[in-house]
C-alpha cells in the first residue's frame, strides 16, 4: 500500500483499519477469541496499515486494551485515532457523554488504556440523534477539547457525525484535521463536503461503506463485483479510494480473511465503465 494522504501532521496509508468489530456482539463485551483479535491487529500493521480507528467505548474498554496488548510499544509511524462523546451503560446502550468532566475523563481513559502520553487524533463523535447527524452547537464540547489539546494531551482534533453547519462552526473554533461521517456509493449527501475538505487539505473518513443499500443498488454493486471477480465490499472500498484523494478508509473486521480482502481493495483499479455504473446508483 503506497497511496498516502495527510491526517493532520501525519502521513498515513489511505487504507486503514477500524477496530470496532474486535469487541463482542453489538460492540459490547469481549471478543469470542481474543487471540484472533490480537492477530488481526498485528497482521494489519504488518501489512502496512498505519492508521487505526478506535474508542474506549468500544466494548467498552475491550478494544483499546486489545490494541495495547497486541501492538504496544507502537511502531513510530502508527497513528491511533480515538473518539469521545459517548458512553455505554451496563446493557450496552449508546448514550451521549458531552459534559466537560465526562470528555476529560474519556481522554484520560483512552490515554491510560492505550498506554500513551498523548493522543494523535481525537474525534468528537456527536450523538445529538441516533439516526444520523442533527443540528446543534459544538461550542461547549470543542472548547473542552481545545483545552485538553492546550494541555498537551491531544495532538489533533477531528469531528464525527456532523452537518455542514457544524463543520463551519468547528473550523471557526479549532483546527479540524478530519471529518468522520456515514458515506458510501449509495449515500452521497456529503459529496460537497468531501470536495471542500479536500481543497482545504482535510481528511474525510467514511464509515458504513455498505450501509443502507436498497436491493436494486446492491444488485448493481454485485454485478460490478462479479465482472471484476472481486467482492462487493472490495468494490465499495475501491470506489471510495478512487472518488477523492482525501478519503481515508477504516474498514473493520474481526476476521483475518476479511482483513486480507479489505487490504487488497487498495490495489483494485475500477474501470471507467464500472465507475460510471456505480456513480449511477446514488440516491
Domain segments of the chain as ranges: 9-212+247-252
Confidence band of 112 (pLDDT split at 50, 70, 90): very high
Looking at residue 122, what is its pLDDT? Answer: 98
Mean pLDDT on 204-232: 95
* pLDDT at residue 61 is higher than 90: yes
Confidence band of 283 (pLDDT split at 50, 70, 90): low
> pTM for this structure?
0.96
Distance CA 222, CA 160 (A): 29
CATH match of 9-212+247-252 with 3.20.20.140: no
Confidence band of 1 (pLDDT split at 50, 70, 90): low
Distance CA 215, CA 276 (A): 19
Q: Which residues are catalytic?
A: 58
Q: Which of 87-91, 127-131, 152-156, 252-256 has the lowest mean pLDDT?
A: 127-131
- Calculate Rg over the CA atoms of the chain: 18
Mean pLDDT on 58-87: 97
Looking at residue 213, what is its pLDDT? Answer: 93
Mean pLDDT on 132-149: 91
Looking at residue 31, what is its pLDDT? Answer: 96
Name the burial class of residue 59, with classes exposed (0-12), middle (13-18) and buried (19+) by CB atoms within 10 angstroms of its CB: buried
- Cell 503506497 belongs to 2
Of the candidates 57, 61, 113, 117, the residue with the CA atom closest to the CA atom of residue 88: 57
* pLDDT at residue 129 is higher than 60: no
Amino acid at each position: 500500500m503506497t497511496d498516502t494522504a495527510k491526517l493532520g501532521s501525519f502521513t498515513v496509508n489511505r487504507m486503514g483499519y477500524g477496530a470496532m468489530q474486535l469487541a463482542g456482539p453489538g460492540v459490547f463485551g469481549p471478543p469470542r477469541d481474543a487471540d484472533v483479535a490480537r492477530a488481526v491487529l498485528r497482521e494489519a500493521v504488518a501489512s502496512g496499515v498505519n492508521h487505526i480507528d478506535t474508542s474506549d467505548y468500544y466494548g467498552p474498554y475491550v478494544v483499546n486494551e486489545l490494541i495495547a496488548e497486541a501492538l504496544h510499544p507502537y511502531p513510530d509511524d502508527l497513528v491511533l485515532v480515538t473518539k469521545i462523546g459517548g458512553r455505554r451503560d451496563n446493557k450496552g446502550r449508546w448514550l451521549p457523554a458531552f459534559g466537560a468532566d465526562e470528555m476529560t475523563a474519556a481522554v484520560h481513559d483512552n490515554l491510560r488504556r492505550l498506554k500513551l502520553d498523548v493522543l494523535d487524533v481525537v474525534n468528537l463523535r456527536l450523538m445529538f440523534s441516533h439516526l444520523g447527524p442533527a443540528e446543534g452547537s459544538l461550542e461547549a464540547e470543542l472548547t473542552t477539547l481545545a483545552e485538553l489539546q492546550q494541555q498537551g494531551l491531544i495532538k489533533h482534533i477531528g469531528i464525527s457525525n456532523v452537518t455542514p453547519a457544524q463543520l463551519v462552526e468547528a473550523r471557526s473554533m479549532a483546527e479540524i484535521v478530519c471529518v468522520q461521517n456515514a458515506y458510501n456509493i449509495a449515500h452521497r449527501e456529503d459529496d460537497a463536503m468531501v470536495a471542500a475538505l479536500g481543497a482545504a487539505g482535510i481528511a474525510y473518513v467514511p464509515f458504513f461503506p455498505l450501509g443502507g443499500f436498497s436491493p436494486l443498488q446492491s444488485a448493481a454493486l454485485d454485478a460490478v463485483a462479479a465482472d471484476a471477480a472481486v467482492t462487493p465490499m472490495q468494490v465499495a472500498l475501491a470506489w471510495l479510494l478512487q472518488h477523492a484523494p482525501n478519503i481515508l478508509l477504516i474498514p473493520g473486521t474481526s476476521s483475518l480473511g476479511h482483513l486480507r480482502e479489505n487490504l487488497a481493495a487498495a490495489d483494485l483499479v475500477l474501470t471507467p465503465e464500472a465507475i460510471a455504473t456505480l456513480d449511477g446508483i446514488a440516491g
